[in-house]
Structure 1
Amino acid sequence: MSAVPSVTADLAASLEARLARFPAQQAVTAAGQTVGYREAQAGALVNHDALPLVLLHGIGSGAASWVQQFEALGGTRRVLAWDAPGYGASTPVVPASPNATDYAEVLRGWLDALGIERCVLVGHSLGAIIAGAFAAANPQCVAGLLLLSPAGGYGAAAADVRESKRDQRLAMLAELGPTGLAEKRSANMLSRHADDTARAWVRWNMARIVLHGYAQATHLLANADLAADLTRFPGRINVAVGADDTITPPSACERLAQAARTPLQVVPCAGHAGYIEAADAYTAIIDTFCRASAAPRSH
């Protein structure tokens, strides 16, 4: 029995060594908000006309979760992932019960601070809500919007449903804390096909959430209506989900794909955190989408 923690510790150390290639950085927006992020900067021999790729994590994660995409795609383009407001070193948004535009405004400020005028934007789960709100408000900044296992939010639901979903998650957070949440809930992010490294990585990220930031993100989830934002973005949108995702299952993602006027792509043998457990498949999806977003649309 004592070997299990040792194996987990060894895996975490290995993952942290990989992550060290993409150290945590900070930028300060014009509004004075600090945003923590990680970046893979393409080398001198790479075509720097390639669109930057911006990655937004979900509610129980952080910038570090994208390390495999940094490794695979950082040689061809600039790849960035933020810690959302209230995560890592990032300043929380001001409202106690924020909406998606509060986060989208910080995203705009961060991209402005880094000199990024146009990018390919990828949002996973709750990150899809922020990505959708940003794209709807700033379509000129988004060459393509890729949503991975998107959370739709409960903003269009009845008030009692929104409050129930919100209060259940807040109670779970209060009971378990970040470490307990990681131990109890991280397995739900993955399919039965996930290996030990993927499980360790999801657990490592979830254990590092900040209580206040997670609580605000829970309110965001209750308040958001991603489908409505998708109908307001005129640009290129793709939606993908793992076939074995039990958190945002294919049936729920299909409704969002319909709102986005795009077919749903279902990835075999992948759960909610598919880009971690099935990194090759998801990285290929992201890379293909980046290349398509750089080309003129045919309609």
Structure 2
Amino acid sequence: MPALSAVDRRLLESDLPPLRHALLSSGSTLEYRDTGHGADAVLLLHGIGSSSAGYRAQLAGLSAQWRLLAWNAPGFGASTPLASPAPDVHAYAAVLANLLDALSLDHVHLVASSWGTLIAQAFAGRYPERTRAMVLSVPTRGYAHLPADERARRMAERLSPGARAPEERAPRFLGPAPDPLVVRRFGELQAAVHPAGLAQATHMLFDCDALALASAVHVPTLILAGGEDRVAPPGEHAERLRGALDGAALETFADCGHLLKLEAPDRFNRSVHDFLRHY
């Protein structure tokens, strides 16, 4: 991965905004962070092994231009899990819509990472009038297209305790020669994931195909890919999604892996701001 700049380090060492709690119309509680004073709101959707804390560098670096909201998805942090043990992507998108209602937000920009990009696409497809534009970072296609036996094997691997050990996962998730600060932040995020929430999210991941969602999405979209991403290699995920999404643009971070917002936070922030400010 590229060497961290002084700005990158400041962003990764910044304090997190406090957690807040929204009571949804369903009676569920949704945990989120809220900072910034911009007129336009940007909602940050984390990946499967993360939380709102994964956007530490964005909450610090973009708050001068935007109002930033980072959720803890259902089953993550103190957010109420979904009722089904095997929810689909549309169940998560519905909770996202309920959160916007609770916060009296008519529309938002979406910035999503990995697993969260599936939720962003489902939301944009179902609620186009509420989605101004979106940035999909290191998107995953999902695994619904795989043969049933391979899906079952991969899901079992994902849910095994050893698969969640940060020291085992870091080399695969990060680009070459990651900075110790990035590795530490990655480990903190992984260690905080609740097994029950992870299990629900994993079922969704293996029941979803982003290429099937893409046909309903017609909002301005920027895709960010990591050239060294071994979790969701761009040729199998980001590049195929660009071909399926109407008018999507693609930017590749050549030396980064699957965690662009940690590995190159200042560049990530500039890419997000430069794209969203047009919409």
Same fold (TM over 0.5): yes
Pairwise mapping of residues 197-276 of structure 1 onto structure 2 (< 5 A)? 197-252=181-236, 253-261=238-246, 262-276=248-262
> What SS is found at the alignment partner of 2:155?
helix
Match of 1:38 in 2: 33
CA deviation digits over 1:130-150, x for unaligned, max 9? 111111111111001211001
Deviation at 1:119, TM superposition (A): 0.8
1:156–1:72: structure 2 CA closer, same or farther, 3 Å change rule? same
Contact 2:48 2:115 in 1 (8 A): yes
Cα deviations by residue, 1:195-231 (Å, 9 ceiling, x for unpaired) = 1111111111110000100011110110011111121
Counterparts of 2:26 and 2:48, CA distance in 1? 24
Matches within 5 A, 1:150-161: 150-161=139-150
Once residues 214 and 166 of structure 2 are traced to their aligned partners in structure 1, the CA distance between those partners, rounded to angstroms, is 31
Q: 1:58: which partner in 2?
A: 47
Change in 2 beyond 3 A, CA 1:15/1:200: farther
2:112 paired with 1:129:
no
Whole-Å separation in 2 of the counterparts to 1:208 and 1:37: 15
Query: 1:184, CA displacement in angstroms?
Result: 1.9
What is the distance in 2 between the residues matched to 1:193 and 1:268? 14
Give the distance between the partners of 2:199 and 2:56, measured in 1 at CA: 25
Which blocks of at least 5 consecutive residues in structure 2 are unaligned?
1-9
Corresponding residue SS for 1:250? coil
Aligned partners of 2:11 and 2:57 also within 8 Å = no
Percent pairwise identity: 32
User: Does residue 1:83 correspond to 2:83, yes or no?
Assistant: no
Amino acid at match of 2:270: A
State the Cα distance separating 1:15 from its structure 2 match. 8.9
* Letter of the 2:63 counterpart: G
Q: Give the AA of the match of 2:54.
A: S
Q: Structure 1 residues 207 and 118, CA, compared in 2 at 3 Å: closer, same or farther?
A: same
The runs of at least 4 consecutive aligned structure 1 residues that moved more than 6 Å come to 14-17
2:263 maps to 277
- Whether contact under 8 Å (2:112, 2:136) holds in the other structure is yes
- Figure out how many residues of one structure are paired with residues of the other and give that number: 268
Deviations 1:267-287 (A, max 9, x none): 122110011110011111111
Distance 1:91 1:15 in 2: 29
CA-CA distance at 1:169 after TM superposition: 1.0
Q: 1:214 to 1:15 in 2, by over 3 A?
A: farther
The structure whose Rg is larger is: 1
Which residue pairs with 2:61 in the alignment?
72
Structure with bigger RCO (C-alpha 8 Å, 6+ apart): 2
Distance 1:63 1:236, change over 3 A: same
TM-score in terms of structure 1 length = 0.85
RMSD over aligned Cα atoms: 1.8
Q: Contact 2:21–2:31 (CA<8 Å) still a contact in 1?
A: yes
